């Protein structure tokens, strides 16, 4: 029964809403509220602050959440070890990841892993790198160096200057950050891993970027550079579909810091992962490597060539029209 209460409490804390937690757990909202009231009576302290838009953890609630998460992970580990006697048949893999991994890596890796281990379920939350570091398994871009974090593996994922194929810089083999600042810049939000890296790299070369657009939406940044002469800084993986479609081009940046960037798979050193999570991390590293090689294939020149060919055809058609006139 206490395990059920921990699960209920964690769901409410994750959603910040008793109603949404009740929908996820498939129980009545009133029954869930009674469970939380019972916990609060047992501890003699409120665990949530109620407000118009939902609930928020109190200081006591934050303490209890750490206890709940630790115990739920231990229970999952016990289940995984018991199931390991019969093979990897069940388990839950909880991941917190950055948005750039959503379109390709995560769906591909989860699908292929589930084909091998159909009893494994996944819980995936998308957030910025600054929030990902608190996860059981985190996939973060340029995560902060913290002593309690352990890097399981990292993949080099340099930022590139993403722009329209018609941009004045599009045909250059490389550009510098200084080359880019004279154009409108679409940047990630402050405190995200990629924004911190960009700001540090700019400071190192004595320049400052004032973004024309700041957003946590990658697709909005991609669209921004498609419709004007703007530039954004992304990994190739983040804009893979648009690159392959020839809608934008990726020009390498010569500044050293942005070329040393990585996407890291991180865990907390003090936490013991469930067996399913350990196995998925090993599998994910291979999938990451395969996808990284595909995403890093040279696409810029093809896109520029397509634009050039389109321009040439337009010129020829115009010339033919003049002759007919």
Lowest mean pLDDT among 22-31, 66-75, 86-95: 86-95
pLDDT tens-digit series, residues 45-54: 999 998 888 8
Q: What is the pLDDT of residue 51?
A: 87
The rounded mean pLDDT for the chain is 83
- Which tokens hold the place of 9? 């409490």
Lowest mean pLDDT among 91-105, 131-145, 191-205, 294-308: 294-308
Q: What is the pLDDT of residue 222?
A: 94
- Cβ atoms of 238 and 100 within 8 Å: the answer is yes
Residue 142 has pLDDT above 90, yes or no: no
- Cβ atoms of 134 and 66 within 8 Å: the answer is no
Place of tokens 């409410």: 12
The pLDDT > 70 percentage for the chain reads: 85
- Which tokens hold the place of 252? 């390498």
Top mean-pLDDT range of 60-69, 96-105, 218-227: 218-227
- Cβ atoms of 163 and 225 within 8 Å: the answer is yes
What is d(CA 243, CA 103) in angstroms, rounded to the nearest whole number? 13
Confidence of residue 83 (pLDDT cuts 50, 70, 90): low
**CA 88 from chain center: how many Å?**
27
Considering only CA atoms, which of 166, 189, 185 is closest in space to residue 308? 166
**Domains of the chain and CATH, by start:** 1-87 (1.10.10.10), 156-261+299-308 (3.40.190.290)
The strand pairing partners of 155, in sequence order, are 263
Provide CB contacts within 8 A for 7, sequence distance 6+: 25, 72
Q: What is the pLDDT of residue 221?
A: 94
The strand pairing partners of 160, in sequence order, are 234, 252
Buried/exposed 287-325: b ≥16 CB within 10 Å, e otherwise: bbeebbeebbeebbeebbeebeeeeeeeeeeeeeeeeee
Per the model's pLDDT, the better-predicted residue between 74 and 240 turns out to be 240
Confidence of residue 148 (pLDDT cuts 50, 70, 90): confident
Q: What is the pLDDT of residue 296?
A: 61
Average pLDDT of the segment spanning 194-206: 93
- Which tokens hold the place of 18? 């008793």
Lowest mean pLDDT among 144-158, 249-263, 310-324: 310-324
- Which tokens hold the place of 67? 């206890």
Confidence of residue 183 (pLDDT cuts 50, 70, 90): very high
Confidence of residue 166 (pLDDT cuts 50, 70, 90): very high
Buried/exposed 25-62: b ≥16 CB within 10 Å, e otherwise: beeeeeebbebbeebbeeeeeebbeeeeebbebeeebe
pTM above 0.75, yes or no: no
What does the chain come to in residues?
Answer: 325
- Which tokens hold the place of 97? 């990841």
Q: What is the pLDDT of residue 86?
A: 62
Q: What is the pLDDT of residue 295?
A: 63
Residue 145 has pLDDT above 70, yes or no: yes
């Amino acid at each position: 029964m206490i395990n059920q209460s921990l699960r209920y409490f964690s769901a409410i804390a994750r959603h910040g809403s008793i109603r949404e937690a009740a929908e996820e757990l498939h129980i009545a909202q009133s029954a869930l509220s009674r469970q939380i009231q019972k916990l609060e009576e047992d501890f003699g302290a409120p665990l949530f602050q109620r407000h118009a838009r939902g609930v928020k953890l109190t200081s006591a609630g934050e303490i209890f959440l750490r206890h709940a998460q630790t115990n739920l992970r231990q229970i999952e580990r016990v289940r995984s070890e018991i199931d390991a006697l019969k093979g990897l048949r069940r388990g839950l893999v909880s991941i917190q990841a950055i948005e750039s991994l959503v379109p390709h890596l995560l769906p591909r890796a989860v699908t292929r892993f589930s084909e091998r281990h159909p009893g494994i379920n996944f819980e995936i939350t998308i957030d910025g790198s600054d929030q990902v570091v608190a996860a059981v398994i985190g996939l973060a871009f340029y995560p902060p160096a913290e002593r309690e974090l352990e890097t399981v593996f990292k993949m080099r994922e340099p930022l590139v200057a993403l722009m329209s194929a018609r941009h004045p810089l599009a045909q250059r083999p490389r550009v510098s950050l200084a080359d880019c600042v004279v154009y409108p810049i679409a940047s990630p939000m402050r405190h995200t891993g990629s924004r911190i890296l960009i700001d540090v790299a700019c400071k190192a070369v004595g320049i400052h970027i004032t973004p024309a657009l700041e957003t946590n939406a990658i697709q909005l940044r991609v669209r921004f550079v498609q419709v004007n002469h703007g530039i954004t800084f992304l990994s190739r993986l983040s804009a893979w579909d648009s690159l392959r479609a020839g809608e934008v081009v990726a020009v390498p940046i010569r500044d050293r810091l942005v070329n040393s960037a990585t996407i890291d798979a991180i865990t907390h050193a003090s936490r013991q992962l469930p067996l399913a999570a350990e196995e998925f991390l090993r599998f994910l590293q291979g999938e990451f490597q395969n996808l990284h090689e595909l995403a890093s294939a040279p696409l810029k020149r093809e896109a520029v060539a397509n634009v050039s060919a389109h321009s040439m055809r337009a010129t020829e058609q115009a010339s033919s029209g003049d002759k007919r006139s």
